[in-house]
Amino acid sequence: MVSLTSEVIDTLKSKVRGSVLTPADAGYDEARTVWNATIDRRPAMIVRCAGTADVIATVGFARDNGLVLSIRGGAHNIAGSAVCDDGVMLDMSAMKSVRVDPEAKRAYVEPGATLGDFDSEAQAFGLATPLGINSTTGVAGLTLGGGFGWISRKFGVTVDNLVAAEIVTADGKWNRVSAEQNPDLFWAIRGGGGNFGAVTLFEYNLHPVGPQIYGGLVVYPLEQAKDVLPKYRDFVAAMPDDLTVWAVMRLAPPLPFLPPEVHGKPVIVLASCYLGPLESGAQAVEGLRHFGTPAGEHLGAMPFTAWQTGFDPLMTPGARNYWKSHNFTGMSDEVLDILTKATSNLPSPHCETFIGAMGGQTNRVPVDATAYANRDSLYTVNIHGRWTEAADDAKCIGWARECFNALTPHAIGSVYVNFLTGDEGDRVKAAYGPNYERLASVKSRYDPQNLFCTNQNIKPSE
């Protein structure tokens, strides 16, 4: 157990504008709580940074005192990398500024901002960049792992739209990174996670999106899976970049457009987002309505901001979560059968599996253009174990692992790094594939002592 003297703590307090919390302080337990309730770690100190100067001071403090350092942005990471035991938690959640330049189509975003914060500002000008699917997710962690969402088939993954950043490295120095400035570090942070420093500002390219899009949900009973899922697979293979359709398999929530007898029953939810002309939207998604006999549907024009929050009720903080994930180049009948079987045997009413259809622009970028390497993945499947009671840990984790193991022979071996849990450090090299050695080399240059290690860690080259 790390013990810091009051003199040492006071020294840091004198250097920062933000607050410094220790286990004895009010607010400490709230500050160390993250989205995934299976994570219960106790830092020796939490520094709630007010700006870049605080970040520089905290990085130097942890380094000079030989302390473990973790970094908190949105604290949504499944592995709980935001919080450490017995070290320093560098908390940037209060740094939430989002500034949009609508003429240049650029956004300047601090690391505490959430997707909801970003969308609120960007959509005021009818602009967006590819981000995730849950508005409470932190922009920083999502971006650093690569990032993708509803508009990625049209505009690429998040890091394809990152044009610059500001980062504090292990030596305590501030760096601006872009294609022209520190290009090796810029390459590495576009998918390499929090391995290279604490990013204090992200600069994104923006695209005209919305403010209205066409989309929504078509829901089929799981017993129709043999008909619905192969037709979904064929539909995805032919759909334009303007359209994204994911398949979510779970127990039906009590949505108002579903009859009461369907609530709580296993279903396939086809979730669509169409970016083309609104008048073409109904035709673009019409095929989804004829894969079988829907239990219900809710399709139409809606604000893009509303669609971005549509899945928030299923992803609220405070539940226990455990994920397993694979990438695929195709959805074989065997894969669809495995997912159907898993959905028919859910250990908790909150568990689900989803098929995230990638493709489009995400596959047109060379694998070595960014650290994010999953350029051949056409589908990302996430097995989402989610439950409320610790007594159910074993059965829910076991369910996710069993489904994952059954899918393994059919997957391509790679994985989206943001979907890795804390017990999957052995899959980090698989996440980066041919880019791993270059990442390790950059790590050796900027963080040879591996100060930034509470993550899906890339170790410095020998």
> H or E element: which one contains 446?
helix 436-446
Lookup: tokens for 176:
């601006």
Q: Cβ contacts of residue 137 below 8 Å, gap of 6+?
A: 74, 76, 114, 115, 131
> H or E element: which one contains 166?
strand 162-168
Q: Give me the torsion for CA of 120, 126, 130, 136, rounded to 10°.
A: 10
Give the chain's domains with CATH numbers: 11-91 (3.30.43.10), 98-209 (3.30.465.10), 212-419 (3.40.462.20)
Q: What are phi and psi of 375, to 5 degrees?
A: -80, -10
Between vectors from CA 148 to CA 142 and to CA 153, what angle results, nearest 5°?
A: 165
21 bridge partner residues: 46
Residue whose token pair is 């979904």? 232
What are the b/e assignments for 269-280, b being 16+ CB within 10 Å?
A: bbbbbbbbeeee
Lookup: tokens for 164:
């610059």
Q: pLDDT tens per residue, the chain (462 residues)? A: 667 788 888 999 999 999 999 999 999 999 999 999 999 999 999 999 999 999 999 999 999 999 999 999 999 999 999 999 999 999 999 999 999 999 999 999 999 999 999 999 999 999 999 999 999 999 999 999 999 999 999 999 999 999 999 999 999 999 999 999 999 999 999 999 999 999 999 999 999 999 999 999 999 999 999 999 999 999 999 999 999 999 999 999 999 999 999 999 999 999 999 999 999 999 999 999 999 999 999 999 999 999 999 999 999 999 999 999 999 999 999 999 999 999 999 999 999 999 999 999 999 999 999 999 999 999 999 999 999 999 999 999 999 999 999 999 999 999 999 999 999 999 999 999 999 999 999 999 999 999 999 999 999 997
Q: What is the 3-state secondary structure (H, E, C) of 271-308?
A: EEEECCCHHHHHHHHHHHHHCCCCCEEEEEEEEHHHHH
Give the whole-angstrom CA distance, residue 305 versus residue 209.
Answer: 10
Amino acid identity of residue 387, one-letter, is W
Amino acid identity of residue 299, one-letter, is L
Give the whole-angstrom CA distance, residue 325 versus residue 344.
Answer: 19
Neighbours of 208 (CB within 10 A): 10
Q: Are 393 and 409 in contact (CB under 8 A)?
A: no
Q: Are 195 and 458 in contact (CB under 8 A)?
A: yes
> Whats the size of the chain, residue-wise?
462
Nearest in space to 198 (alpha carbons), one of 314, 72, 39, 76: 72
Give the pLDDT score at 462: 73
Helices (runs of H) and strands (runs of E) counted in the chain: 14, 18
Give the whole-angstrom CA distance, residue 319 versus residue 286.
Answer: 36
Q: Is 368 strand, coil or helix? A: coil
Lookup: tokens for 286:
């019409």
Do strands 106-109 and 127-128 pair parallel, antiparallel, or not at all (unpaired)?
unpaired
- DSSP string for residues in 224-287: GHHHHHHHHHHHHHH--TTEEEEEEEEEPP--TTS-GGGTTSEEEEEEEEE-S-GGGHHHHHGG
Please tell me the pTM assigned to this model: 0.96
Q: What are phi and psi of 266, to 5 degrees?
A: -65, 130
Give the pLDDT score at 66: 94
Give the whole-angstrom CA distance, residue 391 versus residue 386.
Answer: 13
Give the pLDDT score at 247: 98
List C-alpha distances in Å: 70 to 82, 87, 145. 5, 8, 16
Neighbours of 439 (CB within 10 A): 25
Q: Are 393 and 319 in contact (CB under 8 A)?
A: no
Mark out the alpha helices in 113-219 (DSSP H runs). Answer: 115-122, 139-144, 152-155, 183-189
Q: Cβ contacts of residue 335 below 8 Å, gap of 6+?
A: 328, 381, 407, 410
Q: Are 346 and 250 in contact (CB under 8 A)?
A: yes
